[in-house]
Chain A
C-alpha cells in the first residue's frame, strides 16, 4: 500500500521598504552591526511602534497578486517568547485577524500537471535580529539591524503532495512576488525564508497524519531535499510500527538529514493577544485600489499572451515569462519588427547568456531587430551574426547602423560571383585529386568544395551563392 505526502508551506518575505516596519531606521542589508537601530527596534523602555505605510501597501499588493481577500480591518498582535534576537520579548505580528485570507497559487506540478495551492492567509509582521554563533568563543553575538524589518508571512493550505511540488510552488510564488515588486525574494540575503510542514498518510485516507515542521532551509533545492529526507523518515518510522510525534526539525544540507529541534511537548505557548500599542489597521478602499492598479501583468497571464500574440511554443513562452526583464526585452525586439520566433531564439540564446552573467542585456532591442533583419536578408550568416552580436560596438549608439558594424567587422557575406570566383579557383587548383573524383562522378564532393571555399573566405562567402559558381567551373573544365 502506498503513502501520500501532504505538505504546507509558510513563507516569510521581506517587503521592499526603505525603513523598518515600526520605526524610522534604515532597512538596508549589510551595514555594520547595530548601526540601524533606535529606541523602538532596540526595545528600549518607553518606546512605541508606528506602522510603515509602504509596508502595508506592499503587503496589500502581494495579497492581491495571490488572489487573496484583503481584510479592510486587521489587528496587530503580540507573539510572546524569549530569544536574544527578539528585543521586546514579543514579535509584533498578526494572529486571528490577518491582513488577507483565501488566495491561491497556480503552478505546474512535475507529477500532476497544472494545479492550484490555496493560500490560507497573508499577514504582516516584524523580523527578528541576527545571531552569530561562530565569531566569539562560547558566546552568541546579536546584531539588531534586521530587527523590525517588515515581513509578509504567506501560509499555504496543505495542498502540496510532493517535495518536487513544494519546490515548484516556491518558484512560482517567488516569480509572482518579484513581478509585483513586493520583495526581491533573495534566500541568500534572507529576504525569503521557508518553513515546511509535512505529514504522510495511507493513499486514500481522508484524515491528515501528524505533521512535522522543517525550519530554516536555505534554498529551494534544499527545501526539496529536506522534505524528501523528512518523508523518508516518517514513512520508515511508520512502516516499522512507530508513531510520528509532532515536532520541529532542522535540515543539515551537509548530511542531507533532518534532526530534531524540539517536540510539541516542549513547543512554545505564544500567548498571542492584540497589541495595545497599535489600534486596528483599517485599509481604505483607495489604498487597496491603488495597489490593484499597481499590479503588473503576472507571469501566468504574460505566458498565455506570449503564446497568443507571438505564436511562441509554450516552452519558449514559459522561459521568457519567468522574468519580467527578459519578457520585456523579448517584446521590445518582437514588436520592433523582428520575426517573433527568431527573436525568441536570440533572446533565449546569446542574449540570455549575457543577461545571466551581467543581469542586463548589453545589446539594445533595436540593434537586435536590425541584426535579425540582416540574417533574414542573407547579408550576414547566422554564425557571423553571433560574432556581430558579441561585438561591444552593438552597445554603442554612436557606432552607426548594425549593417555598418557587420561591415566594419568584415562579417557581411560575399555573394558577388566575381569575388567568389577567385576563392573557387584557388580551391580547385589546391585540390586536383578531388576535382578528378568529382568529374569521375563523385557528386557529393561538392559539399567538400563549398566548405573549402567558406574556409578560404573566412566565413564571408555566402554558401548559397558559392555552389552555382563551383558547379559552373567544375563542369566547364
Chain B
C-alpha cells in the first residue's frame, strides 16, 4: 500500500473500517481510536496547503508516544486515562507533513517486553496465528501493519522492540541511529537506548516516515545537530561493490533451521544482486543481553520514579494514609509484574555497594560491544546481515514465567541498541506459515545506505513464500 495523494477523508473512512474489523477479529492491537478522531485528522489534513510528504498517510502510534487528543497509557494501569497536555515532536512533524494519526497502539507495559503479553489491557494476537505472539514491545503497531490496517506505524525501541515484532509479523521495521529522531514526547524507558522507530508495509513507507521524523530537536539534548539530514533513498537496482559482513556469533550452530533457511535466502539474494559477503566477528555481542538488563532497568528505575500518584495518573493510598503509603500503594498496584521486576533490578544495581559491580561494569561492556561494531565496519564491510530473531514467533504464555528466556528473544537485536546504530528487519519468507526476518545493521547515521540495500532486497525476496 503506497502513499497516494488521495483525499484524507476517504482514507479516514477506510482506515476506520479496517480498525473496526481488526477489533472484531480480537487482534487487541489498539488501545484508543475513534472514527470521529480519524475524521478530525482527515479534516485537518485536507485543510493543509497542497503537498506534504506523507499527505493522507494513516499512521498507528505506539501508546508510549504522547498526543493531546487521545490518552497515552503506556499500557499501564498507572497511566490509565492519562491525556498528555503536549504532543511529541515526532508526531508534530508527521502531522505537519500531512499524516493522520489513526490510533494509539497496544504495547508491553512501558515498552518492557518482547511479546506484548505484558500489557495491562490484554495481549496482542499474532495476525497470522492467534495462539502466537506478535513480538514486542511494539506488538500492537507491528500487528496493525501486518494485518493491513495501516501502511505504517510508529513503535519505539530500547532493546529491539521494533525489529523483533517486525520480524515476527513479517513487516519492515526500521530503528534509526540514536540521536536521529527526537525523543521529546516518547515516554522514557532507557533514555540512553530509546529510539522512536518506524514500521512499514514496504521499505519505502518506513523510510518516508523516518525521513519526516528525523532531525535535531531543541527540546531533546541528545539529538545530534552536526549530522547530515536523512533522506529516504531510492532503492538500488543492483548491489555491485557492496560488502556485507556476516557476524559469525549471530549464526550459531543451534540457530532455528527455519531462521537459518530464511537467512540463506537473503544471502543468496544479496549475491545475486552483486554484493559480496564476508564473515566478521563481534565477540562481545554475546554479552549484550546481560549488559542490557543492567543498563535499561537502571535507567528505567529512575525514569519511572515520576509515577508517584502526586501530580497525575493513578493514585492509591495504603492504610497508613501517609505519603509513603500513597507511593507504595500507587506504584505497587499501578505497575504490572514485569515493570516492577525491572524497577527492582534497576534499583538494586544502582544501590550502595553494587554500582561498580553492575552498572559501571555494564558501561564498560557496552563500550566493548560498540567497539566491535566500529572495528567490523572499519574492516571494510558496508553493512552487517544477521537474523533478527533466534526463532519464529513463539506461543503465547511460553515465556511469561521465565523472564530470562523472554529476554533472550532479543539476543540479536539488542546489541545494536547498546551501540546506538541504525538497523532494520526485513521479511525474507515464511517457515511453516510464520514470518522470518533478516536484520541489516549500518554504521552510525548511515540509514540511507541500509535502506537503499533493503529496497533492492525487497524487490527480489518473496516474503510470502516458504523458505524451505
Residue among B65, B72, B221, B306 making CB contact with A43, cutoff 8 Å:
B306
B319 within 8 A of A: no
Q: How large is the interface on B (under 10, 10 to 19, 20 to 34, 35 or more residues)?
A: 35 or more
Q: How far is the CB of B217 from chain A (nearest CB, A)?
A: 9
A277 adjacent to B221 (CB under 8 Å): yes
Interface-lining segment among B1-9, B26-34, B80-88, B227-235: B80-88
B306 adjacent to A276 (CB under 8 Å): no
B306 adjacent to A89 (CB under 8 Å): yes
Q: How far is the CB of A132 from chain B (nearest CB, A)?
A: 14
A279 adjacent to B192 (CB under 8 Å): no
| Given A273-B298, A273-B350; A45-B84 close (CB under 8 Å) | yes
| Given A48-B184, A276-B192; A90-B85 close (CB under 8 Å) | no
| Given A46-B84, A279-B221, A279-B222; A273-B351 close (CB under 8 Å) | no
| Given A80-B302, A271-B351, A276-B299; A44-B221 close (CB under 8 Å) | no
B49 within 8 A of A: no
Across-interface contacts of B301 in A (CB, < 8 A) = 80, 271
> What is the chain A residue whose CB lies nearest that of B326?
A84
A28 within 8 A of B: no
Across-interface contacts of A50 in B (CB, < 8 A) = 218-221
Across-interface contacts of A49 in B (CB, < 8 A) = 221
Q: Convert B319-351 into 0s and 1s, putting 1 for each residue whose CB lies closer than 8 angstroms to a CB of A.
A: 000010001000000000000000000010011
B74 within 8 A of A: yes
Q: How many residues of A contact B (CB 8 A)?
A: 31
Across-interface contacts of B436 in A (CB, < 8 A) = none
| Given A50-B218, A277-B222, A278-B221; A45-B310 close (CB under 8 Å) | no
Q: Convert A66-108 into 0s and 1s, putting 1 for each residue whose CB lies closer than 8 angstroms to a CB of B.
A: 0000000000001010101001111000000000000000000
Across-interface contacts of B355 in A (CB, < 8 A) = 271, 273
Q: How far is the CB of B422 from chain A (nearest CB, A)?
A: 19
B308 within 8 A of A: yes
A458 within 8 A of B: no
| Cα of A115 to Cα of B351 in the assembled complex, Å | 39
B187 within 8 A of A: yes
| Cα of A264 to Cα of B323 in the assembled complex, Å | 21
| Given A271-B350, A276-B191; A48-B84 close (CB under 8 Å) | no
| Cα of A89 to Cα of B82 in the assembled complex, Å | 19
A332 within 8 A of B: no
> What is the chain A residue whose CB lies nearest that of B220?
A48
Q: How far is the CB of B303 from chain A (nearest CB, A)?
A: 8
A140 within 8 A of B: yes
A273 adjacent to B302 (CB under 8 Å): yes
| Given A44-B86, A46-B186; A273-B222 close (CB under 8 Å) | no
Across-interface contacts of B218 in A (CB, < 8 A) = 50
Across-interface contacts of B298 in A (CB, < 8 A) = 273
> What is the chain B residue whose CB lies nearest that of A50?
B221
B302 adjacent to A78 (CB under 8 Å): yes
Q: Convert B69-84 into 0s and 1s, putting 1 for each residue whose CB lies closer than 8 angstroms to a CB of A.
A: 0001010000100101
| Cα of A39 to Cα of B86 in the assembled complex, Å | 7
| Cα of A279 to Cα of B191 in the assembled complex, Å | 11
**A-B interface, 9 closest residue pairs, ranked by CB to CB distance from nearest:** A89-B305, A276-B191, A276-B192, A271-B350, A43-B306, A46-B185, A45-B187, A269-B352, A46-B66
12 A-B pairs in the complex with CB atoms less than 8 angstroms apart: A39-B86, A45-B79, A45-B82, A45-B188, A47-B184, A269-B352, A271-B347, A271-B352, A273-B359, A276-B191, A276-B299, A277-B221
A interface residues with partner B (beta carbon < 8 Å): 39, 42-51, 78, 80, 82, 84, 87-90, 140, 142, 144, 269, 271-273, 275-279
B interface residues with partner A (beta carbon < 8 Å): 65-66, 72, 74, 79, 82, 84-86, 88, 183-188, 190-192, 218-222, 298-299, 301-302, 304-306, 308, 310-312, 323, 327, 347, 350-352, 355, 359
| 15 other A-B residue contacts (CB within 8 Å) besides A271-B355, A273-B298 | A45-B72, A45-B79, A45-B84, A45-B187, A46-B188, A48-B222, A50-B218, A50-B221, A80-B305, A84-B310, A89-B308, A90-B302, A142-B310, A271-B351, A273-B355
